[in-house]
Structure 1
């Protein structure tokens, strides 16, 4: 087992540091480990079989649908209306534009399910406006990047679908509902940081809008927000599956973006479809190779050995969960969420269950943990998108991000050690 683990990790990290695409890192590391116990032809055959088997899931069909609906939402004028709605709700509070940024990312994440899409769509509108009001560019970019991670927890979220598959049967509907309270808690924590930061820096307070204008801005965003009720409500009520909900989300976002708001031209649909195909292909390649790696991990009994090793360190759930969190925080800084979930769920979920942690609770904890990795150097994808949108250097963002990292870690600890934050709402709706 020791040799297998060393070969697997060695090949993976060597290729990763050589800047090889991560799906190839995973696939080649898996193949190299297989060659320790079988010849080349059986190893290649097994790798192909496990990759194909990893994609043989009806639930995975939801991913291309939600990717496409997210792209349509991002380009269809939805972000602008959500920002105006957020402005009407919190714009007059201390640090108003930063709070608007956070709330807009939460609302957009609840529709698109993509942190990168939220960073790009919300950042394109909010960052120039924040600059006009005297906000520092690096701070504005940091707020956008940190707030965009709420979209990983507030459904619909593609990473929740991936975790449901990796965990071997956790309900996607239950995961979707379980993400609301942690996602809102994370957003509120970031808002508290932004309000305190605004007072220290003396950032301006927005003008209070007339009540009539507030209602009109909220009303303009209602068609976009209704998608949450239609999609999540339908899943909870059992009217359709997560995959069918994804298809409905595509139709709904198409009607809004093309026919109602008319901000996506018919000529643009080809580019949007091509982009969604490209994104889906990248995600599915990661899922396929990660499924093969999960198999070789199980074949070599590596998860069982790690589980025994962790439990040998301590039988205290507080200590073990803290160790798991610290490991995942490091993993998230170097690896994208999808392969991280697929690779480490089979390793750490059995340990968590041994400690009495439910798969639902562990899933939300894991997703929140790895969401922090999206804004952590050196690999954080959301971090680099925010840098590009704001036209600032990565090192300029680190200082304003520090209090936000602290807030995110506090929320992570709360979610880890207070299971009710994740489990209460699913139990209320009967999931």
Structure 2
């Protein structure tokens, strides 16, 4: 049954069928072929995960991010980042990385971040004299930091698969996210120095910088606000997501005074569209998971890895290699939901902390977002910069190096994912 499902899924992907529909068709065909599962039960399995209370956090976090990113706040964040690092070598690239890190604490979505931040900063970098392919590469790679900085949508999805604490995942992912940001800023610095990229001239007056910090503070405080509420047990993840929407409305209305009915409408439309895509993949993955569990695939794979590879170091390496390959072809949410159950079982067999495993999975699969042939943020950056994909990939090699280095550290040094 699993072999039939895998074959049909591969064929449907090859003919460009959307991932959600491909998963449903492949799993449904496998269930019908096997004949052991009643159709009614299959339909229940399809819709059951979408009724999960913790998953309500996803649309509310998306809505809060849409409300905050679409207004004046985005401009203030860019101005703050420019004053902070713009005067250094590769300053505009570093502005993009800092902006991505801060935006990650607002949106929780790498794709949304690449679109919003890229549309502002890629044209700006081009006007300043930066190569368009480099501007696209920085945006494509740094936007994936959103998968780690709270409120991370991928970490929420992993928590539902692994039954892990969202609060602990959010806390554990902050340091790895900052490590990625620091490494990518170093790449921008040395690239700017070696290639003589232009440097921004910014006002160095302390009062001016202080003003930019105050204007950006509502966004800077967002991830810390979320983690504090969760870690202190003040609110559940779903309640925190609702509070985040209220926070975004108050900030836009009372501080920046740019909230309009048109912005609210656009944010709602964007939220519904994005949530629909995510929920379709979640429902489809539940059906696939039923097929895999029925045939005990996660248990069999975990036992095989434990008895064949023996060494935990090799098992972790195997998981990383599989994820790097899968991430090149599947989008991040689908990959987490498909690989999560099997890898959680493997992690348990070698005594790996599920929180560390979750952060490792998110970093690994985030690399696929800026890796061809189906890298989502890679395509977004290339389209905005109006350059061929191949040119962007050539500029991405140092960023791949940073991401792989951070992935290796997180995989083998548990202390880096403290919570």
User: What is the TM-score with the length of structure 2 in the denominator?
Assistant: 0.96
Query: Is residue 23 from structure 1 mapped to residue 17 from structure 2 by the alignment?
Result: no
Query: Is residue 191 from structure 1 mapped to residue 194 from structure 2 by the alignment?
Result: no
What is the SS of the residue equivalent to 1:20?
coil
Aligned match for 2:4, one of 2, 7, 13: 7
How far the C-alpha of 1:32 sits from its partner, in A, is 1.8
Q: Distance in 2 between matches of 1:413 and 1:192?
A: 18
Is residue 75–residue 264 contact of structure 1 (8 Å, CA) maintained in 2? no
How far the C-alpha of 1:259 sits from its partner, in A, is 4.6
How far the C-alpha of 1:284 sits from its partner, in A, is 0.6
> Which whole-Å deviations, capped at 9, do the CAs of 1:115-165 have from their partners, x for residues lacking one?
112112221221122112210001001001110000100110111111011
Q: Distance in 2 between matches of 1:107 and 1:378?
A: 28
Is residue 105–residue 150 contact of structure 1 (8 Å, CA) maintained in 2? yes
Query: Is residue 367 from structure 1 mapped to residue 367 from structure 2 by the alignment?
Result: no
Query: Is residue 223 from structure 1 mapped to residue 218 from structure 2 by the alignment?
Result: yes
Q: Distance in 2 between matches of 1:119 and 1:363?
A: 23
Q: Distance in 1 between matches of 2:319 and 2:263?
A: 44
Task: Name whichever of 368-377 and 90-99 sits farther off.
Answer: 90-99
How far the C-alpha of 1:210 sits from its partner, in A, is 1.8
Query: Is residue 181 from structure 1 mapped to residue 178 from structure 2 by the alignment?
Result: no
- Give the match for residue 401 of structure 1: 396
- Give the match for residue 315 of structure 2: 320
Q: Distance in 1 between matches of 2:318 and 2:71?
A: 43
How far the C-alpha of 1:258 sits from its partner, in A, is 4.2
What is the correspondence of 1:134-149 to structure 2 with a 5 Å cutoff? 134-149=129-144
How far the C-alpha of 1:5 sits from its partner, in A, is 2.5
- Give the match for residue 236 of structure 2: 241
**Count, aligned residues:** 418
Query: Is residue 163 from structure 1 mapped to residue 158 from structure 2 by the alignment?
Result: yes
Is residue 150–residue 174 contact of structure 2 (8 Å, CA) maintained in 1? yes
Task: Name whichever of 305-314 and 328-337 sits farther off.
Answer: 305-314
- Give the match for residue 232 of structure 1: 227
What is the correspondence of 1:241-280 to structure 2 with a 5 Å cutoff? 241-280=236-275
Is residue 103–residue 187 contact of structure 1 (8 Å, CA) maintained in 2? yes
Query: Is residue 205 from structure 1 mapped to residue 199 from structure 2 by the alignment?
Result: yes
Q: Distance in 2 between matches of 1:299 and 1:142?
A: 42
How far the C-alpha of 1:236 sits from its partner, in A, is 1.4
What's the Cα RMSD here? 1.4
What is the SS of the residue equivalent to 2:35?
coil
- Give the match for residue 338 of structure 1: 333
Query: Is residue 37 from structure 1 mapped to residue 34 from structure 2 by the alignment?
Result: yes
Aligned match for 1:411, one of 397, 406, 410: 406
Q: Distance in 2 between matches of 1:348 and 1:84?
A: 42
Task: Name whichever of 380-389 and 145-154 sits farther off.
Answer: 380-389
User: What is the TM-score with the length of structure 1 in the denominator?
Assistant: 0.94
Is residue 31–residue 44 contact of structure 1 (8 Å, CA) maintained in 2? no
Is residue 103–residue 219 contact of structure 2 (8 Å, CA) maintained in 1? no
Q: Distance in 1 between matches of 2:84 and 2:212?
A: 9
Task: Name whichever of 44-53 and 201-210 sits farther off.
Answer: 201-210
Is residue 105–residue 219 contact of structure 2 (8 Å, CA) maintained in 1? no
Task: Name whichever of 85-94 and 265-274 sits farther off.
Answer: 265-274
Is residue 75–residue 257 contact of structure 1 (8 Å, CA) maintained in 2? no
- Give the match for residue 429 of structure 1: none
How far the C-alpha of 1:311 sits from its partner, in A, is 2.5
Is residue 88–residue 218 contact of structure 1 (8 Å, CA) maintained in 2? no
Q: Distance in 2 between matches of 1:323 and 1:178?
A: 23
Q: Distance in 2 between matches of 1:360 and 1:328?
A: 17
What is the SS of the residue equivalent to 1:280?
helix
Which consecutive unaligned segments of at least 5 residues does structure 2 have?
none
Q: Distance in 2 between matches of 1:213 and 1:134?
A: 26
How far the C-alpha of 1:402 sits from its partner, in A, is 1.0
CA gap 1:207/1:76 in 2 versus in 1, 3 angstroms: same
Aligned match for 2:289, one of 284, 294, 304: 294
Q: Distance in 1 between matches of 2:253 and 2:390?
A: 39
CA gap 1:268/1:83 in 2 versus in 1, 3 angstroms: closer
Is residue 54–residue 292 contact of structure 1 (8 Å, CA) maintained in 2? no
